Homo-oligomer: A and B are copies of this chain.
């Protein structure tokens, strides 16, 4: 389109958008689209969790869960989660409420103590990590905090570029990779079976390399049925390679983001190593919340059914976002965005060098998006193009307004670019 527009024509279009933008600005908006937060109606779905325990309830299973003990979680909930994520109970630790905390601690343990008798990462010379991009800013913040150099890996429509990964892991300094394998953050990509299988048989030069498989959206469909995906731990076993992966997950977006249950699954050998350190680190996790989650959900099938209720609430929000993008940006043919089947985000690629300006303009009009660049390690999107859109929290009216502001801001940034 820009090829056939004269400078004058661009100026006219820009002025038109600026007029619209000023209207938005004068309406004192205050909308936050920056984080993938569940909305109140989603949180209401799990209010029943507050009824399963009462003062007359027994909180006893194999022991009194009100007391100390069972550092790896209560067996009742282990049955539910192990069925849900298709692992053995001995391959599972159920912990506190934050899977990010489990990931951070896993990496911190590798830094401090090393893995399977290898030198602690802290005592190794150079540390590198693979980061499929765009990805999750809080993953990148962890590896950055530990001073580990991140290497960008391109995302394809079926998962990260496995050729690049297989090449990169020949370097023994490469110690791990961040993956959100299903409904990825932010693009909503589902790793194909072929990709999962290549991960499962990956043979890195570093024996202490681990795949950080953050299955944050494992059953978080936006459709009527959840997409199938190959289980990496099962696949890895076929190749006698099950030590390569730590699987993480939580109920943060199933029950409560402010009080869910997090877990890590891996080979028995990895789990034993984690438990050894965990037994020094803590007296144990909150078993009462674990028991309440068990009593409320009872089995994996109920958890899956519960997710369809979430889907009904948030799918229309994703549609509303896509509708505005379709009507406002599609005609210009300058941007591309994901149409996810699940997860919490829509990833939007704007024209080069306009993402930062777009987010800035939106913010100045009272609409906050995730900072441009934050889907890349060190906040560096060399194209300055990607913006993560989080549709779940606002209601549809606010969402529509926010996206109109976003599209208006994107057009202004684009036209400004054409004139420079």
A residues contacting B by CB (< 8 A) are: 35, 37-38, 40, 43, 46-48, 50-51, 53-57, 59, 64-69, 96-98, 100-101, 104-105, 108, 111-113, 122, 138, 141-142, 145-146, 252, 256-259, 277, 280-289
Contact = CB atoms under 8 A, between A and B. Distances in A.
Given A96-B286, A281-B104, A286-B97, A51 B54 contact: yes
Contact of A68 (B35, B53, B108): B35
In the complex, the count of this chain's copies comes to 2
Contact of A257 (B37, B256, B258, B283): B283
Contacts of A105: 281
Name the prevailing secondary structure of the A interface residues: loop
Nearest to A104: B281
B146 A257 contact: no
B68 A277 contact: no
B100 A283 contact: yes
Contacts of A286: 96-97, 258-259, 286, 289
A128 B409 CA distance: 57
Contacts of A46: 66
Nearest to A101: B282
Identify the interface centre among A40, A258, A289: most chain B CB within 10 Å of its CB: A258
B38 A47 contact: no
Nearest to A141: B280
Nearest to A260: B286
Contacts of A138: 280, 283
Contacts of A69: 258
A102 to B, nearest CB: 9
Contact of A145 (B47, B122, B280): B280
Contacts of A65: 258-259
A105 B283 CA distance: 13
Contacts of A122: 112, 122
A181 B101 CA distance: 30
Contacts of A43: 64, 66-67
Contacts of A50: 53-55, 57
A280 B339 CA distance: 29
Contact of A112 (B54, B56, B146, B281): B146
